[in-house]
Structure 1
Amino acid sequence: MAIAPENPSALIRVAHMLADAVRPITLQHFRQSGLTAENKHSTGFDPVTIADRDAERVMRDILAAERPSDGILGEEFDDITGTSGLTWVLDPIDGTRGFISGTPTWGVLIAVSDENGPLFGLIDQPYIGERFVGGFDLAEVVGPQGTAHLRTAAPRTLAEATVLTTFPEVGTAAEMHAFQAVSGKARLTRYGMDCYGYALVATGQVDLVIEAGLNPYDIHAPIAVVQAAGGIVTDWTGGPAHRGGRAIAAANPQIHAEALALVQSVINA
């Protein structure tokens, strides 16, 4: 993956600036009794809150001042096409359902990407105070226990593995059955982690995250963090995952290959 044609420290600085700016905005509304959520879709439940919108507005304002030539792809507002070849991919609150439920597994996702995918990504959890970063030779988490290097888990069999996904239904019926083919062989399956699941892959706590129905802003930052920590993230064909859709994030190539073969055996049946 190509390195941006400039000093990466400038991009890293802006990424942290964005994350620092939105921490107090999200925390102002988290676990507050007056918080309301609108449903963005007429079918199902896809909530958005004032925290989502205010956080993304602030990030866009900072980028307009600091990086006016870069593009922006965010969840809540229209895309901006830049001229630099770089795009900031923003999800102000990944896991709004968790946010409005009071669970601390939502996060702020920030990535800077070129046409081939993310160059640098950041997963920030304001309430816990953890920030996971990956890219430009960085792979670390900063949190209540200090700073630690990120490293994914060593290879082990699927029978020994822990696998995560956000929703038990995963996506379509076929996608759900494909996930179940993996989870049925795993030692432990957990649900509801949103972006925090990818952070746990990067820390070496879990082996796999398997999801479907993703948007690009859901996956760019997780890709950067997991891959910087030594993991692998692809779609369900083994190709690039940064355009969204189906994704497998794995701690290592061995367990990725095992999971990929299982989901393909169901999807292609």
Structure 2
Amino acid sequence: MTEFELFAVDLAREAARVSLPYFRGAYEEIDKGGPGAFDPVTQADREAEAAIRRLIEARYPDHGVIGEEYGEDRPDAEHVWILDPIDGTRAFIAGLPLWTNLIALRTGGRPTVGVIGQPYLDEIFIGGPSGARMLKGGAETPLATRPCERLTDAVIATTDPDLFTGAELGSWTQVRAAARLARLGCDAYAYAMLAAGRIDLVVESQLKVWDWSALVPVIEAAGGEVTNWRGETPDGSGQILAVGDVRIREQALVTLRRSSL
């Protein structure tokens, strides 16, 4: 692995060291959401991001950082680390092992290294210039998306259809009706399974830059693609489409483009 890939793995292990002891345990929790909304953040979220930031500052003080919990620091730097210390906080709170630590390195404006870590399962999915692999129990397993020629044969996923707007929900409903099987509630772990060749397509909306940046290098290095709902490079729209086989991308986009932002 490259220097930055190795460091990203070190960051993932630090995030796991801090966050895992809180899982299914006691921790402080606050609700950042407004009236009628629930947007939780836990002690594990805050402490994991703080720990990652300390390592970055010590190793690469000239690098920038964008994190969900503590905002931006030098976001215009050549190298910027993008952090979601716990993606799937609701799963974390519910005791479900589908939350992940997301860490990405953006170089020259695009994600070049990504890590999806699931500490409870002892899994780290890493993607970058040297390829894609899963690290587990001291072993490395190459990651590769699987062939899927038709949407009707696809296993697809989204976190929660309630997150879609009315028009988006209509698009998702049509894609889901065409697919062979749909799974819900997996958060970023669904993208790890796409890179591992178990899921064929993931479609989501309202994602922030820290929600999707780590996914891009992992999926691309495994042979898949990540775009917005117009089939273009992911952007500020928050609409993300990830596919393991590009042949089903256009089949999904026929519907998704109608509600693209």
TM-score normalised by L of structure 2: 0.95
SS of the aligned residue for 2:12 comes to helix
| CA distance in structure 1 between the aligned counterparts of 2:126 and 2:237, rounded to whole angstroms | 20
What is the CA–CA distance in structure 2 between the aligned matches of 1:245 and 1:83, rounded to whole Å? 20
Shift of 1:161: 0.8
User: How far is the alpha carbon of 1:187 from its aligned partner?
Assistant: 0.9
Provide the identity percentage. Answer: 37
Deviation at 1:117, TM superposition (A): 1.5
User: What is the number of residues matched between the two proteins?
Assistant: 259
Q: Does 1:153 align with 2:146?
A: yes
Residue in structure 1 matched with residue 14 of structure 2 by the alignment: 21
Instruction: Using the TM superposition, give the Cα deviation of residue 168 of structure 1 relative to its aligned residue in structure 2, in angstroms.
Output: 2.1
Matched, 1:267 2:259: yes
What SS does the aligned partner of 1:260 have? helix
Aligned equivalents of 2:49, 2:69: Cα separation in 1: 7
Deviates more, 1:38-47 or 1:138-147: 138-147
1:241 Cα shift? 1.1
- Whether 1:35 aligns to 2:53 is no
Contact 2:157 2:184 in 1 (8 A): yes
> Where does residue 88 of structure 2 map in the other structure?
95
| Aligned-residue offset at 1:254 | 0.4
Q: 1:163 & 1:172 partners in 2: Cα distance?
A: 19
Counterpart for residue 103 of structure 2:
110
Aligned partners of 1:105 and 1:194 also within 8 Å:
yes
**AA aligned opposite 1:188:** L
Flag as ranges the 4+ runs of structure 1 deviating above 4 A. Answer: none
- Cα distance change, pair 215–244 in 1 and its aligned pair in 2 (3 A): farther
Residue aligning to 1:223: 216
The whole-number CA distance in structure 2 between the counterparts of 1:174 and 1:55 is 36
Residue correspondence of structure 1 range 71-90 to structure 2 within 5 A: 71-81=64-74, 84-90=77-83
Partner of 2:202: 209
> Is 2:178 aligned against 1:185?
yes
SS in 2 for 1:189: strand
Distance 1:134 1:13 in 2: 11
Question: C-alpha displacement at 1:25, in angstroms?
Answer: 1.1
Q: Displacement, 1:242?
A: 5.0
Contact 1:159 1:187 survives alignment (8 Å): yes
- Structure 1 contact 216–244 (Cα < 8 Å) conserved: no
Distance 1:188 1:11, change over 3 A: same
Amino acid corresponding to residue 34 of structure 2 in structure 1:
S
CA distance in structure 1 between the partners assigned to 2:91 and 2:200 by the alignment: 22
Give, in whole Å, the separation in 2 of the partners of 1:242 and 1:23: 28
Unmatched tracts of structure 1, length 5 or more: 1-7
Show the counterpart of 1:134: 127
Cα distance in 1, alignment partners of residues 259 and 237 from structure 2: 17
1:132-162: CA deviation from partner (whole Å, max 9, x where unpaired): 0111122101125932111101023111111
Give TM-score scaled by structure 1 length.
0.92
